[in-house]
Amino acid sequence: MSEKPPIAHLIRLHDLPEQDVDDLLDLSSRIKRRPGGFQLNGKSVGMLFFRGSLRTRASFEAAMQQLGGHSINLNASSDFWELETTVGGRMDGKSPEHVKDAAAVLSRYVNVLAIRPALGGQSWAIDRRDEDIQSWARYAEVPVINMESALWHPLQSLADLLTLRETLGPLRKKKLAIVWTNSPTPASSAVTNSLLLSAARAGMDVRVAHPSGYELDDEVLSSAAHIAEIAGTTVETGLSAKDAVSGAHVVYARSWQGIEDYGNPTLSASRRARERGWMIDEALMRQGADAKLMHAMPVRRNLEVTDEVFDGARSLIYAQAENRLHTQKAVLVKFNRT
Ligand code: CP
């Protein structure tokens, strides 16, 4: 008896062969130029949000609707039961349904499942395992798309790569500066981690600026170093903003939580309060090589980025957000066929 082929999921962008990422970007560009040329009539995507979203939800929903398909959007806070993830346990706690059963049932209704898992927010050692998204991928009988887990945001990276390609042309040896910004509601490091690996693999030299205490996950840094070695690119971390931006073609602003004080809001707030000056302004941008600015959003204006830069000619931020629509259409077309 022949075994079923494994289901292709999209959990981390760098799990896809480089050629597949290039093909997805080419498809995104074709869809962007000719939006009516691709159809997913009769197909459905199920989206489950265990925390909030503006862009990911709206762009996926618009993408599916414009392709002639249908989306089902479910919010954990209001639309379904709390789900159990422990395997083999007696379910006498607060969760009345197991993720295994939810995944199996939803797989019979939709062609693709897209999940934005919750973050525990207490322990980086636990959250970094990304167990929830792995559970959905294990139990689903259709492709699972990661809409941002603790460690990875493949959809954002795809839109970022398209924006970089459109702006810079071939990316080989172009310089990208990722600069930590100071936000009282810091994001997870998922966007930064995914971008670091994706940009290095695409041929860019990447420099990351952050204050002491905001080092990225050790395994992510090892993977980035490995990818950069294979790609013949460079990855430098722990720089000052000025050193990272010097000569950069693109500055990517992003807040992220420190690992040392992860799960300790009091320590985290006092550490952040000491870090003044981590805001992108015109003086910093002038250190680059006619540098453009990117940010995955949401942006805290005049705290992470000045109005002058955000609203000025250097900003790619809205174009980058728009590219979420085109790249996610490409993802829906590709993963509905697998
Ligand atoms: N960049 C991004 O994923 O935005 P949302 O969190 O609003 O979906």
pLDDT of residue 6: 83
Percent of the chain with pLDDT over 90: 94
DSSP 78-124: TTS--EE--SS----SS--EEHHHHHHHHHTT-SEEEEE-----S-H
250 CA distance to ligand 1 middle (Å):
20
Is the domain 156-321 a CATH 3.40.50.1370 member? yes
Task: State pLDDT tens for residues 28-40.
Answer: 999 999 988 889 9
pLDDT of residue 337: 65
Whether the CB of 148 sits within 6 Å of ligand 1: yes
Which residue has its alpha carbon closest to ligand 1 atom 6? Answer: 53
Q: Where are the domains of the chain?
A: 13-152+323-335, 156-321
Average pLDDT over residues 314-324: 98
3-state helix, strand, coil in the chain (%, to 5): 40, 15, 40
Percent of the chain with pLDDT over 70: 99
Distance of alpha carbon 110 from alpha carbon 213, whole angstroms: 43
In ligand 1, the atom with minimum distance to the C-alpha of 296 is 1
Q: Are 13-152+323-335 and 156-321 equal in CATH topology? A: yes
Q: Quick one: CA torsion of 247, 250, 253, 258, rounded to 10 degrees? A: -60
Q: Count of H helices and E strands in the chain?
A: 13, 11
Which residue has its alpha carbon closest to ligand 1 atom 4? Answer: 55
Average pLDDT over residues 248-252: 99
Single-letter code of the amino acid located at 315: S
Whether the CB of 58 sits within 6 Å of ligand 1: no
Which residue has its alpha carbon closest to ligand 1 atom 3? Answer: 56
Average pLDDT over residues 145-160: 98
Distance of alpha carbon 332 from alpha carbon 206, whole angstroms: 29
| Confidence category of residue 81, pLDDT binned at 50, 70, 90 | confident
In ligand 1, the atom with minimum distance to the C-alpha of 56 is 8
Whether the CB of 130 sits within 6 Å of ligand 1: no
Task: State pLDDT tens for residues 16-72.
Answer: 999 999 999 999 999 999 988 889 999 999 999 999 999 999 999 999 999 999 999
147 CA distance to ligand 1 middle (Å):
9
176 CA distance to ligand 1 middle (Å):
21
159 CA distance to ligand 1 middle (Å):
12
| Confidence category of residue 115, pLDDT binned at 50, 70, 90 | very high
The structure tokens listed for 188 are 């997870």
Contact 217, 244 (CB under 8 A): no
Average pLDDT over residues 258-269: 94
| Confidence category of residue 3, pLDDT binned at 50, 70, 90 | confident
pLDDT of residue 2: 61
pLDDT exceeds 70 at position 258: yes
DSSP 140-170: -SS-EEES--SS--HHHHHHHHHHHHHHHSS
Question: In sequence order, which residues have a C-beta less than 8 Å from that of residue 6 and are 6 or more positions away?
Answer: none
Average pLDDT over residues 182-207: 97
138 CA distance to ligand 1 middle (Å):
25
Query: So what CATH class is 13-152+323-335?
Result: alpha beta
| Confidence category of residue 338, pLDDT binned at 50, 70, 90 | low
Alpha carbon 20 to its chain centroid, in Å, reads: 17
SS3 track for 8-43? CCECCHHHCCHHHHHHHHHHHHHHHHCHHHCCCCCC
Q: Would you say how long the chain is, in residues?
A: 338
pLDDT of residue 147: 98
